[in-house]
Amino acid sequence: MYSVGENFYYEIDDEEYEYFVIGDMIIKGKEYIVAENEEHEKVVFLYDDLEETVSKVEEEDEQEELLEFWENEFYGTSEENGLWDDEDLGSDFEEEEEDFVDIDELDDFDEEEEEDMYF
């Protein structure tokens, strides 16, 4: 499947058009790509993983339904999740620092114990 941010070309009526991938989704085992053309019109494509082909969803009602579903369920959700919030990452890391062993404390490690660790 194409990743968000990638471009691909699709031929319609013997003319090649460039599309920019803005999203993807898997619904009932089918993989869909949401893309925009140069005029910023959103289009949904079906991606066939076995054949590695892309085909435009031709039926207008299905196209609209898929776009609406993507906009409601997927569009902008990665920003809302806040997985990489710097403030939270820093405070969690400081708490976990206490669990690390100081390398100077390992000076008393017996070489015989080290040999027993390997096969």
Q: How far apart are CA 19 and CA 39, in angstroms?
A: 10
Q: Which two tokens stand for residue 113?
A: 């114990």
Pairing of strands 7-12, 53-56: unpaired
Using one digit for the tens of pLDDT, what is the confidence trace for 47-91? 998 888 899 999 999 999 999 999 888 776 544 444 434 444 444
Provide φ and ψ at 28, rounded to 5°. 50, 40
Contacts 24+ apart (CB under 8 A), 12-16: 12/56
Q: Which two tokens stand for residue 27?
A: 């619904």
* DSSP label of 108: G
Please state whether the predicted TM-score (pTM) of the whole model is above 0.75: no
With the CA atoms of 92, 94, 98 and 104 taken in that order, what torsion angle do they form, in degrees rounded to the nearest 10? 140
Across the range 98-117, mean pLDDT stands at 56
